[in-house]
Structure 1
Amino acid sequence: MLIVTTEQIEGYKIKEIKGACFGLVVRSRGFAGQVTAAFRSLVGGEIHEYTEMLEDARKQAIDRLTQNAHAMGANAIVMFRFDSGEIGQNMSEIVAYGTAVVIEKVE
């Protein structure tokens, strides 16, 4: 599945627009990770535990986005974006979204 942030894909034409698609993940850091992160935040600098959690959540959101687009009959996603937010004090929401399309190579 080709995923791009642009409206068009060079060398391809959009044959059909399937519609909006998304992949959503909500993650919570376990107690041990929260304690470790709290100690790191006192010192300053990057909090690796949260960075790793968010990287994994983004990868999973993209996987779910791809599955959603595939189920719609698409072979590409244009206008790809991420959005994130917090739910409560210890949960993060990551959503990957875009427009599912069918593309074909221009000859």
Structure 2
Amino acid sequence: MLVVTTENIPGYKVTEVKGTCFGLIVRSRGIGADIMAQFKGIMGGEIKQYTKMLEDSRKEAMDRMVKNANQMGANAIIMARFDSGEAGSNMSEIVAFGTAVVVEKE
């Protein structure tokens, strides 16, 4: 599956637009990570537990978006984007979205 952030894929022609595809994940932070975050907030520095959680979440959202595009019959995703936010007081959400398309080599 080709996934690009651009509107076009060099060397390929879009032959069909399948529609919007997306992958969503919501993760909650554990109490241990929250305690470490508070400590790091005082001392300063990267909160590695949060970084890893967000990296894993972004990968999972991307994998789910690709799966959604496959189910729609697409072989590429153009205009891929990420968005994130908070859901509740201790949960983070990440959504990957784009346009599922069928492309062929020119």
TM bucket normalised to smaller: over 0.9
SS at match of 2:10: coil
The superposition leaves residues 2-49 of structure 1 with CA deviations (integer Å, 9 ceiling, x where unpaired) of: 000000000000010000000000001111111112111111121111
Using the size of structure 2 for normalisation, the TM-score is 0.97
Aligned to 2:48: 48
Q: After superposing the two structures, state which structure 1 stretch, 51-60 or 35-44, moved more.
A: 35-44
Using the size of structure 1 for normalisation, the TM-score is 0.96
SS at match of 2:20: strand
Aligned to 1:38: 38
Aligned to 2:92: 92
Q: Give the paired residue count.
A: 106
Aligned to 1:75: 75
Letter in structure 2 aligned against 1:50: Y
Q: After superposing the two structures, state which structure 1 stretch, 43-52 or 13-22, moved more.
A: 43-52
| Identity of matched residues, % | 65
Backbone CA RMSD of aligned residues: 0.7
- Write out the 4+ residue segments of structure 1 that deviate beyond 2 Å after TM superposition: none
Report the Cα distance in structure 2 between the residues aligned to 1:41 and 1:59, rounded to whole angstroms. 26
Deviation at 1:85, TM superposition (A): 0.5
Report the Cα distance in structure 2 between the residues aligned to 1:34 and 1:102, rounded to whole angstroms. 43
Please, which runs of 5 or more residues in structure 1 have no aligned partner? Answer: none
Letter in structure 2 aligned against 1:68: N
Letter in structure 2 aligned against 1:41: G
